[in-house]
Amino acid sequence: MSLSIKDDEIDIVIGALRPDLTSFMNEWRTIFSRFHLIIVKDPDLKEELKIPEGFNLDVYKKPDIDRVVGTSTSTIFSGYSCRYFGYLVSRKKYIISVDDDCYPAKDNKGILVDAVAQHITNLTTPATPFFFNTLYDPFTEGADFVRGYPFSLRSGVQCALSCGLWLNLADYDAPTQALKPEERNSRYVDAVLTVPARTLMPISGINIAFNREVIGPALLPSLRLGGEGKFRWETMEDIWSGMCVKVVCDHLGLGVKTGMPYVWRNDRGDAIASLRKEWEGVKLMEEVVPFFQSVRLSREATTTEDCVAEVANVVKEQLGSKDPMFARAAKAMVDWVKLWKSVGSSTSSPGA
């Protein structure tokens, strides 16, 4: 059912937070080597990057980022946010992005999961956000819509975002990981499903893919924790960005899928050490979730850029006074839309 997508419609964007990408790239070689890769080096990383031969790629480091956006703006791309620079400069229709500590996973039959192919399938088959199908993705082989599913909703809508999952080290916050240091995710759930309209969820940036043409500007670096660090459980930037994306998709009638593909996430970091930092991110979500659940965009917001600008406005008005972090995030969102318009795209993305 999926359209035949040409390899050159896809960019794989990798944010390099660690210098030695040798084993990462080699593990992904059979899956990645057909595609063009954009590797963005964390501007804070001092060491030289080590990348093995045999890939079609462009590497962007701090000087490159400075040159494209200016030295004052380049700070927004520090840490895990460096990948957004890749999203900005890409000119491809689809982007797939995984963290540099993730390897290909194996499915229940022991077969290596082609995460790129699965993400592309997710993005090129319809999503069904208006009614829940109990057999999950109705467009996958061997499944369909169940009895009672309205026929008028069976053509679905365009899928703008595909959120994958993680075996081994799941994307838990530091308190959870610290409480259960031995817990590893070994459950391979053989499903893709559409996240229903108006339902929000934590969208992790660890293993993600999107239609850049349709939703590009909505994935953005804006919320930065005061103590943001170089481990995922010391960040919330992707969770914030994901809430924006979902609100925008819901407004524009676009779909978000979650489930497969899985990647294998390597053990890294010490959650208990991270606990010594203040639980900013954890506390923040108490405000962030009810806020996004209440956001309603206007009829006039018909493009992704317009939607992001409106969300930024509401953030500023309703959250700005509660914490300067939100005020900064709102400004960053506005700046991002401007940056996207000047650097990111020559055409605006009209949303489905």
Partner 1 sequence: MADPATISPATLLKDELDIVIPTIRNLDFLEMWRPFFQPYHLIIVQDGDPSKAIKVPEGFDYELYNRNDINRILGPKASCISFKDSACRCFGYMISKKKYIYTIDDDCFVSSIFISHVAKDPSGKDINALEQHIKNLLSPSTPFFFNTLYDPYRAGADFVRGYPFSLREGVPTAVSHGLWLNIPDYDAPTQLVKPLERNTRYVDAVMTIPKGTLFPMCGMNLAFDRELIGPAMYFGLMGDGQPIGRYDDMWAGWCTKVICDHLGWGVKTGLPYIWHSKASNPFVNLRKEYKGIYWQEELIPFFQSVTLPKDCTSVQKCYTEIAKQVKAKLGKVDDYFNKLADAMVTWIEAWDELNPSGASKSSDLPNGASK
Among 4, 152, 155, 346, the residue binding partner 1 under the rule CB under 8 A is 152
Residues 90-109 that bind partner 1 (CB under 8 A): 106, 108-109
Give whole-number Cα distances, 295 to 199, 278, 305, in Å. Answer: 12, 28, 16
Supply the minimum distance, in Å, between the C-beta of residue 195 and partner 1. Answer: 6
Residue 171, interface with partner 1 (CB under 8 A)?
yes
Alpha-carbon span 305 to 311, nearest angstrom: 10
Supply the minimum distance, in Å, between the C-beta of residue 157 and partner 1. Answer: 15
Question: b/e string for 14-28 if b means 16 or more Cβ within 10 A?
Answer: bbbbbbebeebbebb
Supply the minimum distance, in Å, between the C-beta of residue 191 and partner 1. Answer: 4
Among 148, 276, 296, 299, the residue binding partner 1 under the rule CB under 8 A is 148
Residue 46, interface with partner 1 (CB under 8 A)?
no
DSSP letter, residue 193: E
Residue 49, interface with partner 1 (CB under 8 A)?
no
Residue 296, interface with partner 1 (CB under 8 A)?
no
Residue 144, interface with partner 1 (CB under 8 A)?
yes
Binding mask 189-228 for partner 1 (x = CB under 8 A): xxx---xxxxxxxxxx------------------------
Among 47, 53, 267, 286, the residue binding partner 1 under the rule CB under 8 A is 286
Q: What is the dihedral of CA 74, 341, 194, 97, to 10 degrees?
A: -40
What would the 3-class secondary structure string for 52-109 be? Answer: CCCCEEEEECHHHHHHHHCCCHHHHHCHHHHHHHHHHHCCCCEEEEECCCEEECECCC
Residue 121, interface with partner 1 (CB under 8 A)?
no
| DSSP-derived secondary structure for 247-289 | HHHHHHT-EEEEEEEEEEEPP-S-HHHHHTS--HHHHHHHHHH
Among 16, 239, 319, 330, the residue binding partner 1 under the rule CB under 8 A is 239
Q: Applying CB under 8 A, what is the total number of residues that bind partner 1?
A: 60
Supply the minimum distance, in Å, between the C-beta of residue 271 and partner 1. Answer: 11
Torsions phi, psi for 95 (to 5 deg): -125, 135
Residue 267, interface with partner 1 (CB under 8 A)?
no
Alpha-carbon span 341 to 348, nearest angstrom: 7
The residue written with tokens 């992904």 in the block is 28
Residue 348, interface with partner 1 (CB under 8 A)?
no
Contact criterion met (CB below 8 Å) for 257 and 133: no
- Find the part of the chain contacting partner 1 (CB under 8 A) among 8-16, 80-88, 89-97, 162-170: 162-170
Among 59, 178, 275, 285, the residue binding partner 1 under the rule CB under 8 A is 285
Q: Which of 135, 111, 94 is nearest to 262 (CA)?
A: 111
Q: What angle do CA 175, 181, 185 make, to 5 degrees?
A: 100
Contacts to partner 1 by CB under 8 A: 106, 108-110, 131-136, 142-153, 163, 165, 170-173, 176, 180, 183, 185-191, 195-204, 232-233, 236, 239, 242, 258, 281-282, 285-286, 288-289
